[in-house]
Amino acid sequence: MPLDQTPYYDYDDEPKEEEAGKEMSFLDHLEELRWHLIRAAAAIVFFMIFAFVYIEEIYETVILGPSKIDFWTYRMMCKLGQAVGAQGLCVDKLQFSLMSREVSGQFIMAFTSAAIIGLVFAFPYVFWEIWRFVKPGLKPTEMKSARGAVFYVTFLFFSGVLFGYFIVSPLAINFLVNFQISKSIENQFDIGSYISLLATLTLACGVAFQLPIAIFVLTKIGVIGPEFMRTYRKHAVVVILIVAAVITPSPDVTSQLLVAFPLYILYEVSIIISAREEKRRLADLAAEGGEIKD
């Protein structure tokens, strides 16, 4: 669905103070930006405090979830493996233990985890504040194309976070903790290493799922087009399969497809978005009598 097709509700609907015709000075813009950043930071702190209060429950049910063999993803993988005859998908052991090797280690990890959670849950509001600052400077045609931007960016971000948490992270953790170069080596990981891996994979997927938005913007300014993406589709598929192979727990094709398929779907959706925006961009240039770039 292109960005200019807004659902029932639109997060972007709000009074436009800039439309009154009053031009703001550079210092006025800085002051406005400062308040947007303050409100965004306040939202992050709010969710951070909330997460810190319930950090013990969050750790047991969410953060440490992928480290337990009864995690939802592992159970679903085993059922899928039994259905397709790929027993390698079943996870029956995770050979590692988590430790905190510093006196303040658990407190620091609680604070760090709360900060990451605060950032994730405050993301829609933070992006909305950024959008409110940028929006008055857009042209009417740009505003029309970007309707629903907050909704789509938020939807894709949380879709990526969920994909990273339920798919990528469990597969990566299962592979890494069960990889052995010698039976005499026992896996005892620092809790900071585990949190770093989980947060990196989860947030990276949230960012990676912004691909359709990035392609929309690049097409809008004429940097990339649908023909380019179609031409290099095979190259993109190879890259996607390599990424999927790196983070899957076994050479089994089924587990690789669990990761590769959603990434490929995102690429195809990006091509559709690029084609529609390219058509609209060329039509606008023709209407304005501007030069059309190939």
- pTM across the whole model: 0.83
Q: Does the residue 214 lie in any domain?
A: yes
In a domain, 218, yes or no: yes
Which tens digits make up the pLDDT trace of 63-92?
A: 999 999 999 999 998 888 888 877 777 888
Flag whether 16 is in a domain: no
Lowest mean pLDDT among 66-70, 209-213, 256-260: 256-260
**193-210 pLDDT tens trace:** 999 999 999 998 999 899
Beta-strand pair 97-99/188-190: parallel
Determine the average pLDDT of the residues in 100-128.
Answer: 96
Question: Is residue 32 classed exposed, middle or buried when 0-12, 13-18 and 19+ CB atoms within 10 A define those classes?
Answer: middle
Q: Which residue range is the domain that position 140 belongs to? A: 26-92+99-178+188-286
Looking at the domain assignment, is residue 294 inside a domain?
Answer: no
Mean of pLDDT values over 287-292: 62
**Could you give the 3-state DSSP secondary structure of residue 196?**
helix
Given a cut of 90, is residue 220 above it in pLDDT? no
In a domain, 4, yes or no: no
Q: Establish if 3 belongs to a structural domain.
A: no
Domains in the chain: how many in total?
Answer: 1
Predicted pLDDT at 122: 98
